[in-house]
Amino acid sequence: MTTVKERIEQLRRELEEHNYHYYVLSTPLISDYEFDLKLRELQDLEKQHPEFFDPNSPTQRVGSDISNDFPQQTHLYPMLSLSNTYSEGEVADFYQRVAKSLNEPFELVCELKYDGTSISLVYEQGALVQAITRGDGVKGDVVTENVRTINSIPLRLRGKGYPEKFEIRGEILMPWSVFDDLNKEREQQGEPLFANPRNAASGTLKLQNPAVVASRKLDSYLYYLLGEQLPAEDHYQNLQCAKSWGFKIPDTIRKYQSLEEVFQFIRYWDIERKNLPVATDGIVLKVNSLKQQRNLGYTAKSPRWAIAYKFQAEKALTRLNSVSFQVGRTGTVTPVANLEPVQLSGTLVKRATLHNADVIESLDLHIGDMVYVEKGGEIIPKILGVDKSMRFMVGDKVQFIKYCPVCKTPLVREPDEAAHYCPNETACEPQIKGKIEHFVSRKAMNINAGGETIEQFYNAGLLKNVADLYGINIRDIIHLDRWGEKSARNFVESVRQSKHVPFERVLFALGIRHVGETAAKRLAFAFHTIEALMTADITQLIQTDEIGECIARSVVDYFSNDENKRLIERLQAEGIQFAVSEQAIAEKTTKLNGKTFVISGVFARYSRDEYKKMIELNGGKNTGSVSSKTDYILAGEHMGSAKQEKALKLGVKIIDEDTFLQMIE
């Protein structure tokens, strides 16, 4: 007689097999109804016998509705980006560089470049144990629970021969059909639309509710295997092995020995990709031999053994029906062209950005013009020009507006800026909402609320400015749509925790025009308190390192506004940090005053971000590129050869992390 445990294990095996055939092979073995019956039986048995819980059970793919924060994890192997090429000539240059460097025969593997969000999957003893986003390439967010909901990613591997521990990388994607349905649903509910499937997939993967992630029907394509005991010494064969273990490896991958074969692959897919169910934006070429990959090595940012060929942006001709104007967080007004819908790169394009008044003038646009539309980088539609040969019976010439489309305040354009903006920052609705969204963001106050939540609270009369966040309690929001006691409690707790955010981040969170993260840090540590900053004049402000007249004037203007002063008073009354802590002042040194650093490579003792903070804390300055003004390069493993060569040429001193730590004691 079959025991409960045996029946549970049998159902898990059967459902895993059916998932594999349905989502990876696209050859279902049973009907959806039969599958659902088996799944329901397994769910019931697991509920009755929690002692047999398994995080990799097929039932876990539906996702729990438990909210979770994302811890960060350092990648075992850095996730570098690829160098881009845009012509067959540049591909030929890459081929010749590889041939010259290797000086021996080699093969190239050609793959489609999927336009999704990068993911790293770690397996141990045949089971998924961790899923990490690309992040900054050195470390990323751990999103394992969300990834478990993606049916094409195996929770347990099939067959044999896989290493005890390995990593496989690829893209998480949202198919076009799912993307279109999702945007239709959001449009019906009055929610902002996703710009493209990549943004939709990335945003979905970062949701706090795995049950919602499961409902979004994400897919995956995997393309690179890493580990100490891989089954083969070439990339192509490793992918074939991964396919036999149950991974969704694209059938489009090919292996070639000649440049002409590579060009044929590129030309074929430049046309055929439009028939694919997911977004692609190019071709990736990789040297097949892992030994040859190791010999070719890496630059600071990308491998020398791989390159991406980007498809040329597709363009189409359509009619300009009207132009509307949108107001952003800082008051910047952006003109948007409303178009006769046209199919472009797999999506139906209805709108395109016109950027600013100068662009409108240069295009000489008239309502009713036939215009050429292109997707820059396959994502953001823009108007390239007008077919004036088709201009007849057109409407008025498009003019940039003089008044804010929302609050009717006269627009302002600074002499050295391209954009117009609305100066009514305290009473213009899009600016109010935008400022609140900025205030709660992760790098600012890190409050558990996104754009949809801000919109909901604003419409419910709970929010008129950022100080109102601190007056919202659980009773105010528990009755709203999509809110329960737990989510309400989490929100209120994140608001409470934001009172501990340090002054420099609070200053950034205020959203003062032109004051970014770096400027906020400089100002906070130069003036120490909000009172000192509020009373500073332009002359005093520009004496602060990296603060120019534009930022200084913006700061003075902000604090001269009585409503902003009242807002600061309310936030102070709530206990927000408006002074640099004594500990932070004590830790601040001048050991690196006047010294400029470039950080390159991968480090063992601290992350790159942590080293950047140490440099700033000790009076130094971070920059991204080596120049004659650079004093030191803080170098870890895999330091970029280009930076090294330039440093040697300019006489810039290269130091390791131990030397740096000794410098700051």
* C-alpha to C-alpha distance for 65 and 574, rounded to whole angstroms: 32
CA 615 to chain centre: 26
CA 519 to chain centre: 23
* C-alpha to C-alpha distance for 539 and 395, rounded to whole angstroms: 50
Count CA within 13 A, CB hemisphere, residue 426: 12
Catalytic residue among 47, 113, 301, 315: 113
Decide if 126 contacts 157 (C-beta within 8 A): yes
Decide if 75 contacts 136 (C-beta within 8 A): no
Decide if 250 contacts 243 (C-beta within 8 A): no
Q: Which two tokens stand for residue 424?
A: 């009514």
Q: Which residues contact 62 (CB under 8 A, 6 or more apart)?
A: 149, 211, 214
Q: Which residues contact 391 (CB under 8 A, 6 or more apart)?
A: 366, 369, 370
* C-alpha to C-alpha distance for 77 and 138, rounded to whole angstroms: 8
In 293-345 the beta strands, taken as DSSP E runs, fall at: 306-310, 315-327, 332-344
Q: What 3-state DSSP class applies to 169?
A: strand
* C-alpha to C-alpha distance for 138 and 79, rounded to whole angstroms: 7
Reply yes or no on whether 291 is catalytic. Answer: no
In our burial notation (b when 16+ CB lie closer than 10 A, e otherwise), range 130-163 reads: ebbbbbeebbbbbbbbbbbbbbbbbbbbbeeebb
* C-alpha to C-alpha distance for 132 and 103, rounded to whole angstroms: 37
Q: Tokens 């060569």 belong to which residue?
A: 645
Bridge partner residues of 327 (DSSP): 333
Decide if 169 contacts 226 (C-beta within 8 A): yes
Decide if 611 contacts 634 (C-beta within 8 A): yes
* C-alpha to C-alpha distance for 127 and 162, rounded to whole angstroms: 11
Shortest CA distance to 243 belongs to which of 158, 185, 304, 328? Answer: 158
In 176-276 the beta strands, taken as DSSP E runs, fall at: 219-226, 254-256
* C-alpha to C-alpha distance for 354 and 420, rounded to whole angstroms: 13
Bridge partner residues of 596 (DSSP): 621
Count Cβ atoms within 10 A of the Cβ of residue 593 and give its class: 0-12 exposed, 13-18 middle, 19 or more buried.
exposed
Task: Give me the sign of the Cα torsion angle 601, 602, 605, 608.
Answer: positive
DSSP code of residue 274: G
Shortest CA distance to 514 belongs to which of 390, 414, 447? Answer: 414
Task: Give me the sign of the Cα torsion angle 574, 579, 580, 583.
Answer: negative
Q: What 3-state DSSP class applies to 125?
A: coil
At 633, phi and psi to the nearest 5?
-110, 120
Query: Which residues have a catalytic role annotated?
Result: 113
